[in-house]
Chain A
Amino acid sequence: MSAFEFLMQGLGTAADPMMLLYALIGVTLGTAVGVLPGIGPALTVALLLPVTYRLDPAGSLIMFAGIYYGGMYGGSTTSILLNTPGESASIITALEGNKMARKGRGGPALATAAIGSFIAGLIATLLLAFLAPSIVKLALVFGPREYFALMVLAFVTVSAAFGDSALRGLTSLFLGLALACVGIDQLTGQARLSFGVPELLDGIEVTTMAVAMFAVGEALFIAGQRVQVDDEVTAVKGSIWMNRRDWARSWKPWLRGTFIGFPIGAMPAGGAEIGTFLSYATEKKLTKHPEEFGNGAIEGVAGPEAANNASAAGTLVPLLTLGLPTSATAAIMLAGFQQFGLQPGPLLFATNPTLVWGLIASLLIANAMLLVLNLPMIGLWVKLLTVPKPWLYAGILLFATLGTIGANPSAFELGMLLAFGVLGYVMRLFGYPIAPIVVGLILGPMAEQQLRRALAISQGDWTTLVQSPIAATLLGIAALALIVPLILRARGKGEVLSQLAGDED
């Protein structure tokens, strides 16, 4: 069957009334949580994971897809209406979007972000659907060494290539890899780093660690700040609709943003916000109104927002086809799959096509729902922005611990949450990025397994790792991604790299 037929079949699955309801709940919750200040898509997905625990796999994953897309939409609302600099994910949107909102053009800014996100989500999800089968075919020729090389590349791009310090990125990554070693060895069954504690034999739960790092660590960090920045919500005045001129200035950035964002999300570098940054730079260069940039240019909202959503869909390409998470958000989504014993990858397309295609189709549906949900109901979401900080963070911690308790109601698990929360706080304090430690924890065991398989096949000959052209190329790119930024930073050109790094996903 062609991708088109599969997609139609998937739409059939996703159009089931129960599934539509799950998708609707997912997008609503995703938007509601994503819109809260300080919560990016990674945390949204991690916090809402427990909601899906008791559903059937299809329903749960469809709800999850809705949460993911909803979190992205919600995030853009926050960055347009709130003056918080350093808000993760859509920091670029905030540059122009917040300026527009202050000039009383918040409505059109929100509209161009929502419609741009819709168009980007639509095109990118279709691209995902049509690309996935060919990548799956390609993935079938991948052996352990190619997978290992791919994971090494993902490690490097997530940790060392972007951000302001290769040292701190690599330290975060290796801490994740160290934590990944805890538990029973997958191949020989020996207990590693468990120190006789039975709870450690199962290894460290990715969701506990992600929630601790993102929710608890962030709450501690914000609470400890001596200067409390008061977020100021800009009211949406006037019409929320875009006029003819806004449309004329928006549609090209939407399309350009989509085609910039998607490939970048799909590459094993999806973690960084390069897509939004490149889109912004492109729009700034191409605009006929350069004087408006920095003062609220609509192109500066339309392009990056589209790029942001397109790269979110792009991240799903390696996740679904190769089982390779390239961002913290994707790592948590992988944990969502794993709670049902599902391992995304080429095999899942063969063994459970209804599920995979139902998921892809539900992304299209979720996207359409979000457009309807966001534009007319914007007033409701804006109210969520005004939740006072004490209640906001009290609620975040309530839900963070709820997820951990729901997965495993033991004091030990809560102790881990507290310990990793403090670790996350210290890492934030000293400028260590969070994504590498999460990606290291989830990809570490997979990379180790592939490496040991590859070496078992070659009977211990390490050169096997570079003897396949694909693996050698991937490792070469990984080496370049490690070395080139080091040279750039040494020459004092590191600022661009640190701007490219996303804070959270």
Chain B
Amino acid sequence: MSVSRYEPPRRRDTAALIIAAGLVVIGGVMLWDSARLADLGGYSGVGPASVPRVVGFALMGLAVWTAVEALRGDFPQRAPQNALPVLWIVAGLAAQLMLLHVAGFSIATGILFAFTARAFGKRNLATTIPIGIVVSFVVWAIFSQLLMLHLPAGPLEHLIFPRG
């Protein structure tokens, strides 16, 4: 290989290299898991482990390809991102997940609603949380009472619809 002097300086894309590593890990997990399976290929010679194995190797191959593109700096430019709003939404989803069965649908989802609104610029949680709870409660009432969906009820729901 000869080093060309006319090539622009290529920057190594660390984030893309991490993706390549992630693909290796996923591929490795697939291969490890498929090795554990009893391969009941039967007549076909193709058993439950075969497809995961193929997918595992394919992911490894794609990881190599990704690594090559990362080293050559072929990945597209990314717009800079603000981490804070993203974290607010993730926190909202996590809060809903943890509160759902304790506090019921309306309160848990109301918090998600308010945190999401905050991520998009409505910062005053003191007003957005009540708004979110009211909106979520209306949605809960429509979906659980009219459309018969099973949505977890909490103290608030039991207060207004005692029969749940």
Which residues of chain A have a CB within 8 Å of any CB of chain B? 50-51, 53-54, 164, 167, 170-171, 174-175, 177-178, 181, 185, 187-188, 190, 192-193, 195, 216, 219-220, 222-228, 389-391, 393-395, 397-399, 401-402, 405-406, 409, 411, 414-415, 417-418, 421-422, 425, 429-431, 448, 451-452, 455-456, 458-460
Contact = CB atoms under 8 A, between A and B. Distances in A.
Contact of A429 (B48, B81, B151, B152): B81
A181 B42 contact: no
Contacts of B88: 223
A430 B16 contact: yes
A178 B26 contact: yes
Interface of B: 15-16, 19, 23, 26, 29-30, 33-34, 37-38, 40-48, 50-52, 55-56, 58-59, 62, 65-66, 69, 75-76, 78-83, 85-86, 88-90, 92-94, 96-98, 100-101, 105, 109, 112-114, 116-122, 128, 132, 135-136, 139, 143, 147-152
Nearest to A455: B44
A190 B37 contact: yes
B66 A171 contact: yes
Contact of A50 (B19, B55, B136, B143): B143
Contacts of A174: 55, 58-59, 62
Contacts of B38: 190
Contacts of A51: 147
A220 to B, nearest CB: 5
18 contacts: A50-B143, A51-B147, A167-B65, A171-B59, A174-B55, A175-B26, A192-B33, A193-B30, A220-B90, A223-B119, A224-B82, A226-B82, A389-B120, A391-B122, A393-B120, A394-B114, A417-B93, A460-B46
Given A397-B113, A414-B96, A220 B151 contact: no
Contacts, number: 198
Nearest to B78: A429
A430 B16 CA distance: 8
A54 B47 CA distance: 38
B29 to A, nearest CB: 7
B90 A402 contact: no
A406 B150 contact: yes
Contacts of B114: 394
Contacts of B105: 405
Contact of B46 (A220, A409, A451): A451
Given A397-B113, A406-B143, 18 more contacts: A178-B30, A178-B52, A192-B34, A192-B52, A390-B117, A395-B135, A397-B92, A398-B132, A398-B139, A411-B100, A414-B93, A414-B97, A415-B97, A421-B93, A422-B90, A429-B78, A452-B50, A460-B46
Contacts of A399: 139
Contacts of A448: 51
Contacts of A417: 93
Which of the listed residues B48, B85, B101 has the most CB atoms from chain A within 10 Å of its own CB? B48
B40 A430 contact: no
Contact of A430 (B19, B136, B151): B19
Contacts of B29: 193
Given A192-B52, A415-B97, A452-B44, A226 B117 contact: no
Contacts of B42: 456
